[in-house]
Structure 1
Amino acid sequence: MTVKEGSHDPIKKKEKPIISPFPLYKHYPSRFEQIVYQTYNGVENRMWPVRPLYYGMAATAIAAYHWRNPSNYLLNLLPQTENVMLETLKITVLSLGSAYIPVFVIRRFLKHFYFSYKGFLFDNPKKPSITTRIWGIVRAVLSFCPPRLQSCERLLPTQPVPNLQENVAKYLESIKHIVGKDELDLITEQGEKFLKEEGKKLQMYARLYSLFTTNYVSDFWRKYVYLYGRDPLLINSSVAHVDLFRDAPAMRAVRAAHVVAIESLSQMAIHRQNYKPLGDGLLCACHYDNMYAVNRVPGETIDNLVNYGTSNHVAILLKGNIYKMQYCDDRGKMYTLDELTKIFDELFTRAELEPQNGPLAHICALTSDRRDQWHQNRRRFFLENVKNKKALEIIESAVFFFTMDEEDDWDYEANHPEKLDNFMRNMLTGNGSNRWADKSLNYIMNKNTRCGGTTEHSIADGSEFDHIMENFVYMDTKVFSYKPLEEQQKLLSNGRFAKEEGLKLAEKLQIDLVNAEMVTEIERCRVTAMTAGQDVDMATTVYREWGKGRIKKCGCSPDAFVQMAIQLAVYRDQGRFVFTYEPASVRFYRNSRTETLRTVGEESCQFVKAMEDSTKEKSERIKLLKKACEAHVNKNKDCMIGKGIDRHFFVLYVLSKGFGISSPFLETIFSQKWFLSTSHVPNVTGQIDEDKDIDFSWIGACFGAVTKDGYGICYRFAGNHSICAHISSYHSAENTDSHRFQREFIKALNEMAEMFE
């Protein structure tokens, strides 16, 4: 068939319609409106998949029947009275209860079958079991009544406490290629004693505790791993990200307006529960509430997360000053992109005339201090000063903290990788005084409009961060696409338009230098944070030879393949196998976070040794690689169904401390440091076709190495065309070098792929 020029090509894929991932609200809700929709959401979340409207209709119909038939069997079972009010109440309660019976039955069925069943993870997709097919039919039926963000939260099962004996055996298996024989024998002896003695009692306590909480791990995890931590948040706890391969050309005010508009809408969508849940509600979604307008308040011994609900302003750091900028007017009308652009234009013009110099320009440095010291300074310099306390409240209640950086050399250029290294490192560390480290989310934009961010990790984990970022990218590139630069320029007039139209301008926060000690503390914190940032050794990798598509053709899981490449690289870099951490999702359970996937095992070590053995044939290496990848996938599935090792032992360790029980086995486990900390950033929405729109591929994220002599590696697949992997370590460590590891990693990827040619 010949297709004439200009005619429709029947083979060509249809363009996906551009649909916003959340509503484009025009109005900021009043307090009354918030109460109304929160009440409705609370009712719906307790009734889904039945809508409150249908339940109300059923209850009304039943009540009408009882009024028309006052002598029916059900009413006769209840005491009869002559009081009209009591009779009305009786019929109302009976009608509401009767209408809820089918709702209750449906929800029990969903809770104990649909949400509890995990067999589909292990079935052959081509020949699923009968149970899996039934489960699939239920899922198809539920698609006609899609849940809201947290509609399924109460239906998710509680995370199970794993079998103690199995987990001890798994742990010993995971370390046998890492520790020496004498140490392994000692730990094995400790494990056997643990099973016979203190382990039984601690396991019983864990099972009892799990009966009285939504998740036996999560509260302990957030409290003892994050909130009790006294180290500075930046680098040690925070996660950073950068934007796309190439951003659309935009004026600085226009790009800033996009960031504020998108994130304010995203915040409101989460608060209203209009965010589409991942996995159609199969995955836990309770931690989304902590993404915006949340502040980690420092304490002397433990921090506290304060959630301000939905907020109508952002805090902006520009030229050393901090500003409050509302994204709506005083009557709640949301500003358009053009109006926000004009407000930013006025702010940039004004800031050029009133830059902040001296200690106050570095006020944010105080938040980068150790948590106990920042707790004291926060009280002395802010809470005890009326003006500073008011400014602090505005900053801490903001949707996010937005830094306008003065650098202009952040970028991704294949021929100048040092630009991306600097970009990513700056997102993680800041410059010593340009992050409000307590905020759940910091956005940073430089003069050339490159944008990234820093996220406080105690609030949530990777899946929430990924979801937020993918929605941001889609909104920024598809829904709110940029106008030509000529049209953008027409909106800018040195702030004149914003003033003429009566828009609410950004308000400069007034902060006083309380005393000389405050000046000293600001400078100390700035220098300390800057020194820590300069110690970070960052090697960003955008591997453009191929992506996950080629790995799938090799018959391997893309994540497992990259993990084996990392194992091969670290073995060559360090000459040994090391403790390796990869987070695995346990989102199938209520109020869940992550589990540790221990990458090192018998299969991975055999593969690495085969790659280093010149006598091994290519076919044998391929066989061992596939076996190692399969083992990795199976470990991941075990973690997904609550059979992981480390969170279980973590809870037992916390309980042992709480009950004063000595456990040499648990002490040994938690004295072992994760030399290699890795994380895979998955694509959770699939909204952007990264093979078609290569420039719209997200470069990814990074985090600091967990140990001072180790590595941190964060990677993602940019469609089928690239692998983005960002490696961090510390210059002060003599045994690590991020760029050296980067070379070994790329070499490993190439060697492994070439085996399949």
Structure 2
Amino acid sequence: MAEAHQAVAFQFTITPEGIDLQLSHQALRQVYLSGLRSWKKRVTRLKNNVITGVYPASPSSWLFVVIAILATMYTRSDPSMGLIAKIQEHLPVSDSLSIQCRTVVSAVLFSTLLWFSLIFTMRLCLKQLLSYHGWMFEQHGKVSNTTKIWAAMVRIFSGRQPLLYSYQGSLPNLPVPTVKDTVNRYLESARPLMSDSEYERITTLAQEFESSLGNRLQWYLKLKAMWASNYVSDWWEEYIYLRGRGPIMVNSNYYGMDFLYVTPTPIQAARAGNTLHACLLYRRKLNREEIKPGRVPGLNIPLCAAQCERIFNTTRIPGEETDSLTHWQDSEYVAVFHRGRYYRLWLYHAGRMLSPREIEHQVQRILDDPSAPAPGEAKLAALTAGDRIPWAQARKEFFSSGVNKRSLDCIEKAAFFVALDDDEQGMMGDDPAGNLDRYAKSLLHGKCYDRWFDKSFTVVVYKNGKNGLNAEHSWADAPIMAHVWEYVMTTDCFQLGYNEEGHCKGDVSSSLPQPSRLTWDIPVQCQERVDQSLAVAQALADDIDFHVFPIQEFGKGAIKKCKISPDAFIQIALQLAYYRVRHKTQRIVLKSVHLKLTLAEEPQVSRITLTMNMFH
């Protein structure tokens, strides 16, 4: 209750003499500083919206256009060809405005319209340029003159120093391919995998589809493409991910590893301190749009950054028919799991971000807490690991009101989830390969109840200082999370660092509130649902055969020298493995397949991780 009393800004007592009002100046100061931080974020967001809205121009270019137009007017020339005079005629007549002032106002209005017209033209030109796809079909090492000219024009119209979302308004809409092209590509890919009789049959079916149902469906797609920048993304998100009623653990969620051969500190709380602080630094850069937009390597072609919006403060909410993704604008805390207990850990205090040393101190308080889990609390997260319909029903029945709803809201609205594991992982002992297998399985599914699989991502910190992550897949593709994790690891080791004892650098404020335990009231019926979901998830986890192959002989640089992408290399490896087992080529459909490819330039740190349940 101590932290609850600290949160009271004022209290009053009614006495016979009147009302005795007592103000807590410290609490009021906390409220003020928290509100100040919120308003700073709003101002930053507004400023970025203005800069992004006028890109590829800049707000300062408006002043340049105004000065240029006014300068030409003072030289007795009219660049507007009479438009400034027309605008002046329609201005309201006022005694406070002289003729000269009305002329200046008209010139400013004309300059603003001209400025917006230039922005629109530049955006249109950039959008048309980005619609060119000829660069995709260029041979390696040979670039045509057309592509070179096109690349130069893209650079000219792309502007300078773009923010993360600057290109969003200039990206072309996803084109709808013709039915004939789609059918031809399908038949071309199917031909090597079928006998003559099978191919003849599939060709007949494809032609029937093209001449009948295909044309009707094509009109629906064209109509949708007129209203949406990407006619397939929302359907893909819903029908490929959110409508799946099986467990998302293993089937959808993926994982990310720590450095294989380096552990910056063996202290669990210290590693958590730097890792969580680095995540906050990335989120601050994300909110300020200071992260450079992604581009195609070697070319100045921007990539869509829309998926970055949901990295933090995002949760997948279960439903009986389909799940939904909910994103909140901001969250100043993370939800932490340790030894079957849940905590709210505030990462901001007095309107500022906690230092790594302060986060370490708070995490250590959680690790030192001797209290036991409440009945039904320890394995509660198994609901997120099992089938979706039972979880949706249990959420509606047991978590829609009262203390359970408040605690569940705390987890779902957190910036992300943190799991403090009691076991040790990594390349240890005499069996490094076997240890990597266990390490990967721990990150992928853990104990099936120590990860909140619905959160956008879970940071896992082990007892020996190793860390990793488990990420939910529906909100973004894996490269988005890979960029976050790369930033976190490099910032942790090469910027934040640790002192000689292995602790985080910096000092600890004496006024930090204790991390608060989340309280639950889990009835017996709900505990039975938890056990059922855990049984489903455990059976799935036990069915996973996992082996990690650390590759020492080569890295991605060697693969690229063969003029092949690392992804294509793995696809060929899968086909070759199937051929060696079955002695024939076949279209491979993988059920519950998890492919992690991190091939570095240097072979010492390269690794390939491949998991599969079965071939069909």
| TM bracket, shorter-chain basis | 0.7 to 0.9
Question: Residue 460 in 1 paired to residue 476 in 2?
Answer: yes
The change in CA–CA distance for 1:334 and 1:224 in structure 2 (over 3 A counts) is same
Equivalent residue number for residue 252 of structure 1: 268
* Per-residue CA distance 1:683-726 (angstroms, 9 max, x = gap): xxxxxxxxxxxxxxxxxxxxxx44xxxx5433231224165222
Deviation at 1:574, TM superposition (A): 3.3
Within 5 Å, give how 1:331-730 maps onto structure 2. Answer: 331-349=350-368, 351=369, 353-356=370-373, 358-384=375-401, 386-411=402-427, 415-484=431-500, 486=501, 488=503, 501-513=510-522, 515-554=523-562, 556-580=564-588, 674-675=589-590, 705-706=591-592, 711-721=593-603, 723-730=606-613
How many Å separate the matches in 1 of 2:122 and 2:477? Answer: 31
Task: Provide the secondary structure at the position in 1 that maps to 2:578.
Answer: helix
Which amino acid in the other structure matches residue 600 of structure 2?
A
How many Å separate the matches in 2 of 1:160 and 1:297? Answer: 31
Deviation at 1:199, TM superposition (A): 1.4
Instruction: Indicate if the aligned counterparts of 1:432 and 1:527 stay in contact, CA closer than 8 A.
Output: no
Which amino acid in the other structure matches residue 309 of structure 1?
Q
Task: Provide the secondary structure at the position in 1 that maps to 2:612.
Answer: strand
Which amino acid in the other structure matches residue 187 of structure 1?
I
Instruction: Indicate if the aligned counterparts of 1:240 and 1:453 stay in contact, CA closer than 8 A.
Output: yes
Which amino acid in the other structure matches residue 362 of structure 2?
I
Deviation at 1:143, TM superposition (A): 7.8
Instruction: Indicate if the aligned counterparts of 1:365 and 1:522 stay in contact, CA closer than 8 A.
Output: yes
Which amino acid in the other structure matches residue 290 of structure 1?
R
Instruction: Indicate if the aligned counterparts of 1:540 and 1:726 stay in contact, CA closer than 8 A.
Output: yes
**Bigger RCO (CA 8 Å, 6+ sep):** 1
Structure 2 gap segments, 5+ residues each: 1-32
Deviation at 1:150, TM superposition (A): 0.7
Q: 1:177 aligns with which of 177, 192, 200?
A: 192
How many Å separate the matches in 2 of 1:403 and 1:482? Answer: 21
* Per-residue CA distance 1:137-174 (angstroms, 9 max, x = gap): 34555787121111001101111112322221221222
The change in CA–CA distance for 1:341 and 1:166 in structure 2 (over 3 A counts) is same
Question: Residue 231 in 1 paired to residue 240 in 2?
Answer: no
Instruction: Indicate if the aligned counterparts of 2:267 and 2:463 stay in contact, CA closer than 8 A.
Output: no
How many Å separate the matches in 1 of 2:76 and 2:362? Answer: 65
Which amino acid in the other structure matches residue 104 of structure 1?
F
Instruction: Indicate if the aligned counterparts of 1:271 and 1:310 stay in contact, CA closer than 8 A.
Output: no
How many Å separate the matches in 1 of 2:142 and 2:487? Answer: 35
Instruction: Indicate if the aligned counterparts of 2:266 and 2:466 stay in contact, CA closer than 8 A.
Output: no
Instruction: Indicate if the aligned counterparts of 1:324 and 1:506 stay in contact, CA closer than 8 A.
Output: yes
The change in CA–CA distance for 1:489 and 1:137 in structure 2 (over 3 A counts) is closer
Question: Residue 266 in 1 paired to residue 282 in 2?
Answer: yes
Equivalent residue number for residue 616 of structure 1: none
Which amino acid in the other structure matches residue 495 of structure 2?
V
Task: Provide the secondary structure at the position in 2 that maps to 1:442.
Answer: strand
Question: Residue 45 in 1 paired to residue 45 in 2?
Answer: no
How many Å separate the matches in 1 of 2:177 and 2:551? Answer: 39
Q: 1:328 aligns with which of 343, 348, 360?
A: 348
How many Å separate the matches in 2 of 1:278 and 1:413? Answer: 40
Deviation at 1:575, TM superposition (A): 3.5
Q: Return 40-49 or 316-325, whichever deviates more.
A: 40-49
Deviation at 1:42, TM superposition (A): 1.7
Which amino acid in the other structure matches residue 210 of structure 2?
L
Instruction: Indicate if the aligned counterparts of 1:149 and 1:273 stay in contact, CA closer than 8 A.
Output: yes
How many Å separate the matches in 2 of 1:109 and 1:714? Answer: 39
Task: Provide the secondary structure at the position in 2 that maps to 1:289.
Answer: helix
How many Å separate the matches in 1 of 2:353 and 2:165? Answer: 26
The change in CA–CA distance for 1:102 and 1:553 in structure 2 (over 3 A counts) is closer
Q: 1:207 aligns with which of 209, 219, 222?
A: 222
How many Å separate the matches in 2 of 1:570 and 1:259? Answer: 40
Which amino acid in the other structure matches residue 503 of structure 1?
L
Equivalent residue number for residue 7 of structure 2: none
Which amino acid in the other structure matches residue 76 of structure 1?
A
How many Å separate the matches in 1 of 2:602 and 2:219? Answer: 48
Task: Provide the secondary structure at the position in 2 that maps to 1:77.
Answer: helix
Question: Residue 133 in 1 paired to residue 136 in 2?
Answer: no
Instruction: Indicate if the aligned counterparts of 1:250 and 1:482 stay in contact, CA closer than 8 A.
Output: no
Deviation at 1:131, TM superposition (A): 3.1
The change in CA–CA distance for 1:341 and 1:84 in structure 2 (over 3 A counts) is farther
Instruction: Indicate if the aligned counterparts of 1:268 and 1:310 stay in contact, CA closer than 8 A.
Output: no
The change in CA–CA distance for 1:321 and 1:559 in structure 2 (over 3 A counts) is closer
How many Å separate the matches in 1 of 2:386 and 2:556? Answer: 41
How many Å separate the matches in 1 of 2:560 and 2:115? Answer: 50
Task: Provide the secondary structure at the position in 1 that maps to 2:126.
Answer: helix
Task: Provide the secondary structure at the position in 1 that maps to 2:489.
Answer: helix
The change in CA–CA distance for 1:135 and 1:555 in structure 2 (over 3 A counts) is closer
Q: Return 150-159 or 38-47, whichever deviates more.
A: 38-47
TM-score (norm 1): 0.70
The change in CA–CA distance for 1:160 and 1:511 in structure 2 (over 3 A counts) is same
The change in CA–CA distance for 1:560 and 1:230 in structure 2 (over 3 A counts) is closer
**How many residues are aligned here?**
569
How many Å separate the matches in 2 of 1:31 and 1:67? Answer: 46
TM-score (norm 2): 0.85
Tell me how large the CA RMSD over aligned residues is. 3.0
Deviation at 1:564, TM superposition (A): 2.1
Deviation at 1:406, TM superposition (A): 1.3
Instruction: Indicate if the aligned counterparts of 1:45 and 1:150 stay in contact, CA closer than 8 A.
Output: yes
Instruction: Indicate if the aligned counterparts of 1:388 and 1:511 stay in contact, CA closer than 8 A.
Output: yes
How many Å separate the matches in 2 of 1:535 and 1:261? Answer: 36
Question: Residue 82 in 1 paired to residue 107 in 2?
Answer: no
Instruction: Indicate if the aligned counterparts of 2:126 and 2:154 stay in contact, CA closer than 8 A.
Output: no
Instruction: Indicate if the aligned counterparts of 2:140 and 2:563 stay in contact, CA closer than 8 A.
Output: no
Instruction: Indicate if the aligned counterparts of 2:334 and 2:414 stay in contact, CA closer than 8 A.
Output: yes
How many Å separate the matches in 1 of 2:142 and 2:95? Answer: 62
Task: Provide the secondary structure at the position in 2 that maps to 1:457.
Answer: coil
Q: Return 406-415 or 318-327, whichever deviates more.
A: 406-415
How many Å separate the matches in 2 of 1:55 and 1:326? Answer: 42
Deviation at 1:242, TM superposition (A): 1.4
* Per-residue CA distance 1:417-447 (angstroms, 9 max, x = gap): 1111111112112212111121011111221
Instruction: Indicate if the aligned counterparts of 2:254 and 2:594 stay in contact, CA closer than 8 A.
Output: no
How many Å separate the matches in 2 of 1:146 and 1:360? Answer: 49
Which amino acid in the other structure matches residue 207 of structure 1?
K
* Per-residue CA distance 1:289-345 (angstroms, 9 max, x = gap): 11111011111211111111222111100121111111110x311111122222222
How many Å separate the matches in 2 of 1:332 and 1:319? Answer: 31
Which amino acid in the other structure matches residue 335 of structure 1?
L
Q: 2:39 aligns with which of 27, 32, 38?
A: 32
Instruction: Indicate if the aligned counterparts of 1:313 and 1:324 stay in contact, CA closer than 8 A.
Output: yes
Task: Provide the secondary structure at the position in 1 that maps to 2:336.
Answer: strand
The change in CA–CA distance for 1:54 and 1:712 in structure 2 (over 3 A counts) is same
Which amino acid in the other structure matches residue 50 of structure 2?
V
